[in-house]
Amino acid sequence: MLVGVAIFQKVKFSKHFPLPHLRALDSKHSFLSGFLIDRDCAAETTKAIFEYLSKPNGKWNAVVFKNKSAGTPFSNLTNEAAQAFGIKWSQFRQWERAALFPVGISESSQNAISKNVKKTIRRRMRRLQEAGNVQWKILHNDTLTPESIETLLKLENLGWKGNKGSSIKSNPSEEMFFVEMINNFRNAGRVFIN
């Protein structure tokens, strides 16, 4: 039974690490890079992956993750597994993703966020409202129409990603893949967009 997949690319050197290393697969279609693991077997599978990566006969000197989240259950598992095998994390840079409070967020969730982050989120919301009417909707399965998917892609293309040519809409084959993937998830009842 397959419980996890970890895909890596061999790299001779990079500006971040000048020796042969592995780079974890990352995708334009996700904010994260790393592993795809069944949540019911996450601890055991993560440990097995790090055990393999830490073998002394490996031909790599490091593993690079382009995007690694912090403070999530999975990032905690990867940190624990790395520590168990004597693997040290080194961070090249850190950033916070843009976030807004959806309508109806619980008070306990709001209390978990620092005052500075709340202030930043309120400022972002004011700036967004200056551009037009802001509404929160969760689209899933049947309510996620081809028109709403197209709107999402157009919005992403309007910002810095479109200007840099890194938005999904900037590459026709990436756009076709994304639309097909979202439609397949929708048909399986496994997608929502907020």
**Contact (CB, 8 A) for 191 and 144:** yes
Q: Which residues contact 109 (CB under 8 A, 6 or more apart)?
A: none
DSSP 57-113: T-S-S-EE-S---SSSHHHHHHHHHHHHTTPPP--S---PPP--PPTT--HHHHHTS
The mean pLDDT of 168-186, rounded to a whole number, is 91
Two tokens at 80? 């624990």
**Contact (CB, 8 A) for 122 and 128:** no
pLDDT at 102: 64
Residue 179 pLDDT grade (very low, low, confident, very high; cuts 50, 70, 90): very high
pLDDT, tens digit (0-9, with 9 covering 90-100), for 12-31: 988 888 999 888 887 766 66
**Contact (CB, 8 A) for 68 and 33:** yes
pLDDT above 70 for 154:
yes
pLDDT at 171: 92
Two tokens at 48? 């097995």
Residue 116 φ/ψ, nearest 5 degrees: -65, -40
Residue 170 pLDDT grade (very low, low, confident, very high; cuts 50, 70, 90): very high
pLDDT, tens digit (0-9, with 9 covering 90-100), for 99-142: 666 666 677 767 777 788 788 888 888 888 898 888 877 888 88
H or E, element range at 10: strand 8-11
pLDDT at 29: 65
pLDDT at 104: 64
The mean pLDDT of 57-76, rounded to a whole number, is 80
> 67 exposed, middle or buried (CB, 10 Å; 0-12, 13-18, 19+)?
middle
d(CA 31, CA 155): 17
pLDDT above 90 for 176:
yes
Question: Which of 124, 79, 73 lies closest to 97 in space, CA to CA?
Answer: 124
CB atoms closer than 10 angstroms to residue 60: 16
Residue 75 pLDDT grade (very low, low, confident, very high; cuts 50, 70, 90): confident
DSSP, collapsed to helix, strand or coil, labels residue 21 as strand
> Residue 102: what residue type?
P
DSSP, collapsed to helix, strand or coil, labels residue 167 as coil
Question: Which of 43, 67, 42, 64 lies closest to 53 in space, CA to CA?
Answer: 64
